[in-house]
């Protein structure tokens, strides 16, 4: 039974003025101060808004659990980012009982199934290798706009994995048009919502911003209005171009489980027709935006010296770290991900301190709702109460997370993880989330019917990126960022990392004797060993130079032994390179010890060599790629 009717006296009530006075701070800091002071549920009123702010995990199931309360109107501010007209998307549709929302969510499930995500692992690895090459070219000590490179990486991944669109933004240092336009559009869209704009820098701005939106609309001849229109036109042009490109491919194959194929299969429950126009474009764009910044920000947060050392030690024990004797670590395999518990703890701790959804999720009280023993009455059209679920505060309050400001991955070791899509407080597979106070209070992807659909992709992508980058580089905050404390105090999406190549990785390494022993003993008895090229590699040698050297060496061997069968024993990277040379569109994601590929070339009638041919990969060959 409901507790005592509570509205309008719900918990402690911080004064509006107290809130405004603190505007100089980033909003996530204020939310946490309030949660520490007023508890896990309190009412907050500022002119025009009435919030019930919740950060008590015990209260969450009543909000985000089934059937789910409608999303707050502020979500509508993302609509202009994805379409010219006002259409709903998976992300913005208020009610999860909406038949179209259900149809889209259900249709997209195959794209995020365990099998589909596993199938994209090779692509993520390939893009990470491209990132590592890019970073290597910058050289040790270079300052890197981490936000930018990670956004490029995650954009390349989501475009190819979800929509089959090839982009190679890491290969081109020029600004990426989509990222430029999105940045502008997000800034412009969220200016109108003080709660989503970090409140800072001043209360004046909080109140002037809504006026700006109206002014730009009413006075289209203003330079700012023209600029706005030009930016948005370019953004929509990019979305439209991609959708046209995908539509031009024709119908999707039955076995295709990409995000595009799933969206193409959606039928509007009321008309039976497929999605088209702005609606289709908006769903495509939302998935690209969802897959972009969120992942990128999170991947940046593992920057902490001691934790980095511990990650390096863990990577080292899995042969995934660049060392003096093994410059190129093993290429990460999918099964490695489950063998890196400390890295997982680092990610959880990063997401605890900086949840992507820092300012929280908003839901309306469309029906009387019992929360934490209090009865919150149904809202009205005029002023519905917004239930502001504040994940940032939930994950940073003293009571649950002692010394919350300290970055302590260790606090997560051995703790259970809530299952994707579970309601808050739901049991994990082993039933232990319910009783684990930390696991209950850690919901970076939210939970319940409106939980993050992209969680499986993000949970594969984030550790893959970190394992591969931290296996090859040491990173630290660039000097001007004022260290870790400075980072904590500022907006979380703008900081620079300084890059240091791992100290030991100059020069190519020999693979360990043990890794060659098996080949030598079992398969190579009687085989003559030749050095591929008489010359040692230049030092230092860039990746490009190394690739050119591998290619030249392979060609030289082939020419020297024309007409013969030759076994070339070389490093995994050279094997990778030889496949990539023959199949430029292939993405090699695994070269195991003793892995091999077979390649040959014939002669035409004039005695000229044909192009090289590559034997199909076999599961037992140890070299795997996708085309
Ligand atoms: C570290 C990475 C990510 C984090 C922390 C994250 C977090 C979240 C959260 C907290 C929500 C719930 C929002 C709300 O109810 O207000 C959400 C929803 C959503 N996310 Fe993510 N996300 C991530 C990555 C992704 C990716 C990779 C995609 C897609 C490729 C994606 C697509 C979506 C969509 C479409 C929704 C709306 C789902 C619905 O309402 O049915 N996200 N995400």
C-alpha distance from residue 606 to each of 234, 472, 602, 603, 610 (Å) = 53, 48, 11, 8, 10
Does this model's pTM top 0.80? My answer is: no
What confidence score (pLDDT) does residue 233 get? 96
Residue 24, domain member (yes or no): no
Pick the residue whose CA is nearest to atom 37 on ligand 1: 91
Q: Give me the CATH number covering residue 107.
A: 1.10.630.10
Q: What is the mean pLDDT of residues 444-457?
A: 90
**Are the C-beta atoms of 130 and 171 separated by less than 8 Å?**
yes
Q: What is the pLDDT of residues 360-419, one digit of tens each?
A: 678 887 777 778 777 777 764 444 567 777 888 888 888 899 998 888 899 999 887 755
Q: What is the pLDDT of residues 201-210, one digit of tens each?
A: 333 344 445 6
295 within ligand 1 shell (Cβ under 6 A)? yes
What is the rounded average pLDDT for all residues in the chain?
A: 75
Mutate to test the pocket of ligand 1, among 89, 452, 456 (most ligand atoms within 8 A of CB): 452
Residue 205, H or E segment: helix 203-218
91 within ligand 1 shell (Cβ under 6 A)? yes
Q: What is the number of helices (H) and of strands (E) in the chain?
A: 23, 13
| Domain end point (choices 461, 479, 508) | 508
Pick the residue whose CA is nearest to atom 27 on ligand 1: 291
97-111, 372-386, 517-531: the lowest-pLDDT one: 517-531
**How many folded domains does the chain comprise?**
2
Higher pLDDT, 226 or 575: 226
**Are the C-beta atoms of 423 and 64 separated by less than 8 Å?**
yes
What separation in Å is there between the alpha carbon of 295 and the centre of ligand 1? Answer: 10
Residue 219, domain member (yes or no): yes
Residue 22, domain member (yes or no): no
Higher pLDDT, 518 or 233: 233
What confidence score (pLDDT) does residue 334 get? 95
What confidence score (pLDDT) does residue 122 get? 94
What confidence score (pLDDT) does residue 27 get? 62
Quick one: 331 and 310 in the same domain?
A: yes
- State the closest ligand 1 atom to the C-alpha of 93, by its place in the atom list counted from 1: 40
Quick one: 526 and 487 in the same domain?
A: no
Beta bridge mates, 614? 599
What confidence score (pLDDT) does residue 460 get? 95
C-alpha distance from residue 392 to each of 30, 279, 395, 421 (Å) = 10, 32, 5, 19
203 within ligand 1 shell (Cβ under 6 A)? no
**Are the C-beta atoms of 342 and 442 separated by less than 8 Å?**
no
Residue 11, domain member (yes or no): no
Residue 412 main-chain phi, psi, to 5 deg = -100, -10
Cis amide leading into 67 (omega within 30): yes
446 within ligand 1 shell (Cβ under 6 A)? yes
* 452 in a labelled binding site: yes
* Residue whose entry in the numeric block shows the structure tokens 């400075």: 486
Q: In the sheet where 386-389 sits, what is the strand order? A: 41-46, 49-54, 386-389, 361-364
The answer to whether residue 504 scores a pLDDT higher than 70 is: no
Structural domain range at position 103: 33-443+451-508
Residue 588, domain member (yes or no): yes
Q: What is the mean pLDDT of residues 279-293?
A: 93
Cis amide leading into 8 (omega within 30): yes
Higher pLDDT, 457 or 572: 457
Residue 25, domain member (yes or no): no
Question: What ipTM describes this predicted complex?
Answer: 0.99
Q: How long is the chain?
A: 627
Quick one: 242 and 123 in the same domain?
A: yes
- State the closest ligand 1 atom to the C-alpha of 446, by its place in the atom list counted from 1: 10
Mutate to test the pocket of ligand 1, among 124, 294, 424 (most ligand atoms within 8 A of CB): 294
DSSP assignment, residue 4? S
**Are the C-beta atoms of 147 and 155 separated by less than 8 Å?**
no
Higher pLDDT, 235 or 406: 235
The listed range with the strongest mean pLDDT (285-299, 395-409, 509-523, 588-602) is 395-409
Residue 360, domain member (yes or no): yes
Closest CA to 287 of 165, 126, 463: 165
What confidence score (pLDDT) does residue 537 get? 61
Contacts 24+ apart (CB under 8 A), 111-116: 111/162, 111/257, 111/258, 111/259, 111/261, 111/262, 112/453, 112/454, 112/455, 112/456, 112/457, 113/257, 113/456, 114/456, 115/257, 116/257
Quick one: 568 and 437 in the same domain?
A: no
Residue 23, domain member (yes or no): no
Q: Which two tokens stand for residue 489?
A: 């105090």
**Are the C-beta atoms of 340 and 348 separated by less than 8 Å?**
no
What separation in Å is there between the alpha carbon of 454 and the centre of ligand 1? Answer: 6
Count of C-beta atoms within a 10 Å radius of residue 229? 12
Place 51 in a pLDDT band, splitting at 50, 70 and 90.
confident
């Amino acid at each position: 039974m409901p507790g005592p009717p509570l509205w309008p006296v719900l918990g402690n009530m911080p004064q509006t003025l107290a809130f405004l006075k603190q505007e100089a701070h980033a909003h996530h800091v204020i939310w946490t101060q309030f949660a520490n002071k007023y508890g896990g549920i309190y009412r907050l009123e500022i002119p025009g808004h009435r919030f019930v702010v919740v950060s008590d995990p015990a209260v969450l199931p009543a909000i985000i659990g089934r059937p789910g309360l409608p999303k707050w109107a502020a979500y509508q501010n993302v609509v202009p980012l994805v379409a010219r007209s006002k259409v709903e998307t998976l992300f913005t549709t208020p009610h999860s009982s909406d038949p179209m929302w259900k149809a889209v969510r259900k249709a997209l499930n195959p794209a995020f199934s365990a099998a589909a995500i596993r199938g994209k692992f090779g692509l993520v690895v390939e893009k990470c290798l491209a990132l590592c090459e890019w970073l290597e070219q910058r050289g040790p000590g270079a300052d890197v706009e981490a936000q930018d490179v990670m956004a490029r990486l995650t954009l390349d991944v989501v475009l190819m994995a979800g929509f089959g669109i090839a982009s190679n933004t890491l290969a081109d240092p020029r600004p990426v048009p989509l990222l430029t336009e999105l940045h502008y559009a997000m800034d412009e869209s969220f200016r109108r919502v003080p709660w989503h704009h970090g409140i800072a820098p001043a209360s004046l701005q909080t109140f002037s911003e809504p006026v700006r939106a109206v002014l730009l609309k009413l006075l289209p001849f203003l330079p700012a209005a023209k600029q706005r229109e030009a930016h948005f036109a370019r953004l929509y042009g990019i979305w439209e171009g991609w959708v046209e490109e995908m539509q031009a491919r024709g119908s999707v194959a039955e076995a295709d489980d990409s995000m595009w194929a799933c969206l193409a299969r959606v039928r509007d429950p009321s008309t039976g027709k497929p999605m088209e126009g702005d609606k289709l474009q908006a769903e495509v764009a939302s998935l690209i935006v969802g897959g972009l910044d969120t992942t990128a920000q999170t991947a940046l947060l593992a920057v902490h010296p001691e934790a980095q050392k511990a990650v390096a030690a863990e990577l080292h024990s899995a042969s995934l770290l660049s060392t003096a004797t093994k410059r190129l670590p093993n290429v990460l395999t999918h099964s490695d991900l489950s063998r890196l518990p400390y890295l997982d703890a680092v990610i959880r701790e990063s997401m605890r301190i900086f949840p992507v959804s820092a300012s929280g999720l908003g839901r309306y009280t469309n029906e009387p709702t019992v929360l934490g023993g209090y009865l919150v009455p149904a809202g009205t059209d005029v002023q519905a109460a917004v239930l502001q679920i504040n994940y940032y505060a939930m994950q940073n309050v003293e009571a649950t997370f002692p010394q919350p400001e300290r970055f302590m991955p260790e606090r997560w070791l051995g703790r259970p993880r809530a299952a994707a899509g579970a309601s808050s407080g739901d049991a994990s597979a082993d039933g232990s989330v319910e009783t684990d106070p930390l696991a209950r209070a850690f919901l970076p992807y939210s939970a319940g019917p409106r939980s993050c659909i992209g969680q499986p992709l993000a949970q594969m992508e984030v550790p893959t990126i970190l394992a591969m980058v931290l296996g090859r580089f040491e990173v630290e905050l660039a000097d001007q960022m004022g260290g870790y404390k400075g980072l904590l105090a500022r907006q979380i999406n703008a900081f620079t990392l300084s890059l240091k190549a791992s100290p030991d990785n100059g020069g190519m390494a020999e693979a360990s004797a043990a890794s060659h022993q098996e080949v030598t003993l079992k398969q190579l008895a009687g085989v003559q060993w030749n050095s591929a090229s008489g010359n040692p590699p230049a030092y230092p040698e860039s990746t490009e130079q190394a690739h050119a050297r591998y290619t030249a060496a392979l060609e030289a061997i082939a020419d020297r032994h024309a007409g013969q069968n030759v076994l070339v024993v070389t490093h995994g990277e050279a094997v990778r390179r030889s496949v990539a040379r023959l199949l430029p569109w292939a993405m090699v994601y695994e070269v195991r010890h003793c892995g091999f590929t077979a390649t040959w070339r014939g002669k035409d009638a004039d005695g000229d060599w044909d192009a090289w041919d590559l034997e199909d990969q076999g599961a037992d060959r140890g070299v795997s790629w996708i085309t």
